Structure 1
Amino acid sequence: MRRKKLATAVIVFIATYALFSLAGVLFPVDREWYESLNKPDWTPSGRLIGTVWSVLFAFISLSAALVYTIYDLRKAATPFWIMLIINYLFNQAFSYFQFTQKNLLAAAIDSFFVAITALALAFIARRIHKTAAILLVPYMLWSFFATYLAFTIYGMNH
């Protein structure tokens, strides 16, 4: 039974990573447009941003897999799964607003909701699995930084 649980946790990890990565396929970055925006000097390079998100998606996915190994989809973990879905939707919406709609204000507001739901997700995870919660801290911190950056870019281009 333990082997089956581990295999399913690996599937949860892969599925979560794939879903979080989906925005890059559905709403690709318009590099020419993005590069034309006024941005603060402290804006990370596109390559660094992509690398950070790749690592963060792995942390989020590992957090989900750890929660799954303890609770499956049982009632005790329901708040975690619900908040993860809400956070996921906000996360995906950012790329839609930023790169498809080119709406910097909507993207900045959405980024704030990503950060708030990442914070909530970390607090919920803390009650379930301490390591899962710790894995979400970099995501939460980066999301707040991304929110500040998004509002700064909006202000510089408004």
Structure 2
Amino acid sequence: MSTSGLTIGAITFLVALGGVWLRLRDVQWFAHLKRPDWLSFEPAIPFIWTFIFACGAWSATQVWESDPGSFVTWLLMGLYLLLEIFTVAYIPVMLRQRSLAVGTILGAIGVVLGVVLTLSVWPLSGWAALLLLPYVLWSPIGTYTTWEMIRLNPQAV
């Protein structure tokens, strides 16, 4: 693996670690919320997100290696980082605030950032844009699920 790939992978991993700072009482609050009947795949969600983050890191590596160090590439790296921060913040911020509405807003921001990033990357590397498709396809599902949970848990808005 290239040095840039290792660096981007390490940054992705370190930012993702920010999501593990959860308080037990916040996790318990979320665990007691009602979920949609169709949410049968919940145990797979951590694995799905791990795959999505790996694809994102690989995508960022493709972009970096297509034009290393240029101003545009640095801007795109900043957008990758911003997208990951919003994505990782979703769980701890929603749980800390005990608000599904906050989670829905963070998720929606992530959806928009994901689409903007994908469209911005496309002219530089079709492969990098393709690697962002798992995020673009999955993120709206998570956002919709959180929004649907508001209907089932009106006390958790």
Coordinate RMSD, CA, aligned: 2.0
Matches within 5 A, 1:8-157: 8-19=4-15, 21-27=16-22, 30-157=26-153
Compute the TM-score of the two structures, normalised by the length of structure 1: 0.86
Aligned length in residues: 153
Q: Which runs of 5+ in 2 are unaligned?
A: none
Compute the TM-score of the two structures, normalised by the length of structure 2: 0.86
- Change in 2 beyond 3 A, CA 1:104/1:41: same
Deviates more, 1:108-117 or 1:94-103: 94-103
- Whole-angstrom distance in 2 between the partners of 1:59 and 1:99: 26
- Change in 2 beyond 3 A, CA 1:44/1:125: farther
Task: Could you list the structure 1 runs, at least 4 aligned residues long, displaced by more than 6 angstroms after superposition.
Answer: none
- Whole-angstrom distance in 2 between the partners of 1:137 and 1:92: 18
Deviates more, 1:68-77 or 1:137-146: 68-77
Q: Which runs of 5+ in 1 are unaligned?
A: none
The alignment-based identity, stated in percent, is 23
